[in-house]
Amino acid sequence: MKQNKKLTIFYCCALLLGLMSSNLCALESDSEQPITIDSNTATYDDVTATSIYTGNVISIQGSIRVNSDKLVVYFVDGDAEKLVFTGNKAKFKQTPSEDGEDITGEALTGEFYPKKNLLILINEATVWQGNATYSSNLIEYDIKTSLVKAGEKSSDASRVHVILKPKAKEQQPMAKKPAPKDTKK
């Protein structure tokens, strides 16, 4: 009986450790997760190997979430090769690490290449993380490394606008001022 109890405790501990470690690796393995898509309408064209989703489109892969008006998925050999998000500012959010701040962004057009872990934001693009904001007509975001590249190399006409806000200082409790001394006697 004692042997069965020890075995049960061992299996419970192993299960808990397995669950805890899967949560730690979940964000690093976003690219290995399936892509789920919810929308008002969906069509698939076998000839062009494309699928089109419209109306309040929500696509999720691991910790990555994209909201858009329209999504077109291009397939190559049955795999999603390229996803193009459009809308009145398609929006994305990713949690890059368990204790890290979310990265959010928006643009009129977004191109996501799942095999390359690359998200390209085009036209009125903005990305936020913590106290930093990047705005440009072209922003590339490497989902695996959380690297943001903004601007176009081929043109100086397009500018990048960056805002780095200082961190908020913690409020220190106000020290009591000593009562003024009575100088009359």
Dihedral sign from CA coordinates of 23, 24, 25, 26: positive
140 contacts: CB under 8 Å, gap ≥ 6: 118, 119, 120, 121, 148, 149, 150
Q: Which two tokens stand for residue 29?
A: 């393995």
**pLDDT band at residue 37 under the 50/70/90 scheme:** very high
Residue with tokens 């929308």: 39
Q: Give pTM, 2 decimals.
A: 0.69
Q: What's the CATH fold of domain 30-164?
A: lipopolysaccharide transport protein A fold (2.60.450)
pLDDT at 31: 73
The secondary structure of residue 30, as a DSSP letter, is G
| Residue 96 to residue 171: CA distance in whole angstroms | 29
pLDDT tens for each residue of 92-135: 998 877 777 888 999 999 999 988 989 999 999 999 988 888 89
**pLDDT band at residue 23 under the 50/70/90 scheme:** very low
pLDDT at 47: 95
